[in-house]
């Protein structure tokens, strides 16, 4: 039988969160998936937790890694499923029928299937749903919810693994590259998928500057004609809210025809700039 889903969990010294994740996966009413746990050589009892679980889909390793995305990439390389779901330690599936409720979506070949994600703070749940239509401006200012998004595994064959040079926003970069710049297919799933642990690195307010800095690096790499100037910091922090250019992009982004025209126009400008630079003008 073809494995339709690989759930990838990364963990480092979070035995309590790991147990919560394992329990939610183990108790799923639909079981045509594999669960790959990549532990970063934890020393807090996480390995003992893993050893105490033996449900059939579970496969785990514990060894040193170089960071979050290095661990995720290890999981991707091991995965055999058609779709991948990144359910990190401390995150857990909404209920025991979560996968049963979404399994029929796996029969199609939509690149990104995006379900509902809940933030858990002080035992209170706040839902985040995806838009019916995904726009370029949404991907820049927000993004799809990584822990509740089922990613067609072939996306990593086409666009490469997560960028390990980035410490926090590599998944944001991946979604921007696949969905925003290459127009891969997207579908909103109005099903509750994941409850997200807000204790992670990307939710830590102390890391907000690193998030901003890394996003600026990505935007300058992929959109140099917009972001590569002496005012990069100002542009990144205020572009989304104040720039007339960004407001125009929102209008353009609503029309597939004008998106193609704008893309062609930017490619022409880039070509002209490259040519004039070679001429020393």
pLDDT range class, residue 257, cuts 50, 70, 90: confident
In Å, how far from its chain's centre is CA 150?
9
Identify the residue with better confidence: 137 or 41.
41
Say if residue 35 is exposed, middle or buried (CB neighbours under 10 Å; 0-12, 13-18, 19+).
Answer: buried
pTM of the predicted model as reported, rounded to 2 decimal places: 0.80
Per-residue pLDDT at 64 exceeds 70: yes
pLDDT tens-digit series, residues 1-36: 689 999 999 999 999 999 999 999 999 999 999 999
Per-residue pLDDT at 140 exceeds 80: yes
Q: Scanning the structure block, which residue is given the tokens 């960071």?
A: 67
Find the mean pLDDT for residues 104-120. Answer: 96
Class in CATH terms, 5-201: alpha beta
pLDDT recorded at residue 186: 98
Find the mean pLDDT for residues 209-217. Answer: 90
pLDDT range class, residue 273, cuts 50, 70, 90: confident
pLDDT recorded at residue 129: 96
pLDDT recorded at residue 118: 96
pLDDT recorded at residue 234: 46
Per-residue pLDDT at 241 exceeds 70: no
Domain ranges for the chain, please list them: 5-201, 207-279
Per-residue pLDDT at 225 exceeds 80: no
25: nearest Cα among 78, 86, 115: 86
């Amino acid at each position: 039988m073809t494995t339709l889903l690989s759930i990838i969990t990364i963990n480092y010294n979070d035995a309590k969160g790991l147990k919560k994740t394992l329990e939610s996966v183990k108790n799923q009413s639909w079981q045509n998936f594999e669960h790959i746990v990549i532990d970063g050589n934890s020393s807090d009892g996480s390995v003992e937790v893993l050893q105490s679980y033996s449900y059939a889909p579970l496969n785990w390793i514990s060894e040193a890694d170089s960071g979050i995305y290095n661990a995720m990439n290890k999981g991707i390389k091991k995965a055999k499923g058609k779709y991948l779901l990144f359910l990190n330690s401390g995150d857990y599936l909404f209920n025991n029928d979560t996968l049963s409720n979404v399994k029929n979506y796996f029969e199609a070949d939509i690149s990104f299937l995006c379900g509902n994600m809940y933030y858990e703070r002080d035992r209170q749940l706040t839902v985040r749903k995806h838009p019916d239509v995904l726009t370029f401006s949404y991907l820049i200012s927000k993004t799809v919810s990584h822990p509740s998004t089922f990613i067609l595994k072939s996306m990593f064959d086409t666009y490469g693994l997560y960028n390990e040079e980035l410490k926090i926003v590599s998944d944001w970069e991946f979604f921007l590259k696949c969905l925003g710049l290459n127009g891969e297919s997207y579908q909103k799933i109005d099903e509750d998928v994941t409850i997200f642990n807000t204790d992670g690195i990307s939710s830590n307010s102390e890391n907000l500057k690193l998030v901003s800095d890394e996003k600026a690096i990505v935007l300058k790499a992929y959109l140099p004609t917009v972001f590569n100037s002496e005012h990069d910091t100002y542009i990144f922090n205020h572009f989304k809210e104040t720039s007339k250019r960004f407001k125009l992009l929102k209008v353009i982004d609503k029309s597939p025809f004008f998106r193609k025209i704008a893309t062609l126009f930017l490619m022409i400008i880039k070509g002209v700039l490259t040519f004039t630079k070679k001429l020393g003008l």
